[in-house]
Amino acid sequence: MECPFDLTNNRQVIDFDEVDPYNPQNRLKGYINRRQGHLYGTLYITHVNDKECQQIIYSAPKQHYPFNTKDEWKFPEFDEVLVYDKLDGTCIISYTYHDDNGMTYLTYKTRLRPFLGHGEYGNFFSLWNEMRDKYPIDKLCMNLYFNFVFELYGKRNKVLIDYDVPLDTRLLFLIGTNNDLIYPPDGLAFVNDSNVPVVNGHKEDFTDLKTDYLHLQQQLEDELLIDEDSQLMKGREGVVMYFVKDGAVQLKCKPPSVLKYHWAGDAIPYPSVYTTVYNAFENFDEPTTADVIELLKEEYDIGLIEKSMKRIERALGKILFDKKFQYQLADDYRKNQFNINEDKVTCMRWFGQHYPRSQAKKIFNLLKQYEDK
């Protein structure tokens, strides 16, 4: 089976050789495509347990806007338009693969990893297992014809939007395993009968696409609640429009207040850089500046990225420091069997004796975050 993407550019292809945490008897080797486009995140598996077993696993492509920086607009052909809420969290993709004996296995990944990670600075494996216990996700996803794309969101996996729920998930869309076509999340009987929650959506009767898009954008803005002091946002991050015709083409629509985090000024805004760095931990155990730049290229041109290098390095350094510091704190926290929610005074008194008092607020926030996760 021929690889669908070019393997010669090392910066745009990641090789992997990892054990599947959901099927620990299996070690997979292959490559991950990190180029922008429809094959973004696609796996090319070459070996299962050191035996040649080539297969292609389609991932979740990044969604784009219907306009460019020159304010040129373009919409795809369609039979109908469906609009679904855009959730702000981590994208989790299910897929099945087989070994050389034809045995089929189900597992899960983020966009740029072959499996869910449970590394030192992030444990999407553990968080996703909570959702698998909550909903019959495995039963739905053990399907040879589709890969399933979910969003893992909530306070325990906060990116930009502040949700009221601690942690939850919704099915976003499906991808054909043989034809890489994208399908909306409902309308298929086996999905509707699965008891797995689907993201909210509805059909729209658009007449003037650009006018209707701008009207939808303003609706999202009007619904958004922003606390300028705490920089908390509540509402919808945006919507995804599905232009359905032999599969679907996805375009995203976000309110102006969300877009300004991404596009304001002569450099990439710090909150947008910070969010990208945070998201990098979904795909890399300890991301480098080069890893963050590759992710930023999905949204920004290289000129703007070059103007933002100090922000990128500062954000990466801060988040990496916080995660390492939290890891160190968590080690002491576990050893002493503290529970900051039940006995804050004893817990913080101990840390005040063993860590700089000037760090008390940061220590409290990191321990609280750790306990709640």
One domain for residues 136 and 165: yes
**Residue 269 domain-assigned (yes or no):** yes
Structural domain for 293, as ranges = 264-320
Torsion of CA 285, 129, 201, 58, to 10 degrees: 50
One domain for residues 274 and 248: no
Q: Which residue has the tokens 């909306």?
A: 184
Please, what is the average pLDDT of the chain? 88
Answer with the residue of higher pLDDT: 22 or 117. Answer: 22
Question: pLDDT digit string (tens) for 186-229?
Answer: 878 899 899 999 999 999 998 899 999 999 999 999 998 877 66
**Residue 49 domain-assigned (yes or no):** no
Answer with the residue of higher pLDDT: 306 or 65. Answer: 65
One domain for residues 231 and 87: yes
Number of domains observed in the structure of the chain: 3
Question: pLDDT digit string (tens) for 134-147?
Answer: 999 999 999 999 99
Global pTM value = 0.78
Q: Which residue has the tokens 């083409």?
A: 249
One domain for residues 98 and 234: yes
Q: What is the CATH number of the domain that holds 197?
A: 3.30.470.30
- Distances in Å between the alpha carbon of 135 and those of 90, 196, 230, 236? 17, 6, 33, 23
**Residue 29 domain-assigned (yes or no):** no
One domain for residues 225 and 168: yes
One domain for residues 86 and 235: yes
Cα–Cα dist 178/181, whole Å: 8
Q: Which of 257, 273, 292 is the last residue of a domain?
A: 257
One domain for residues 87 and 234: yes
One domain for residues 92 and 232: yes
One domain for residues 211 and 340: no
DSSP 70-128: T--B-----SEEEEEEE--SEEEEEEEEE-TT--EEEEEE-TTSSS--EETTEEHHHHH
One domain for residues 142 and 98: yes
Cα–Cα dist 239/81, whole Å: 12
User: What number of other Cβ atoms are within 10 A of residue 282's Cβ?
Assistant: 24
Report the alpha-carbon angle 245-249-253, nearest 5: 130
3-state secondary structure 148-183: EEEEEECHHHCCCECCCCCCEEEEEEEEECCCCCEE
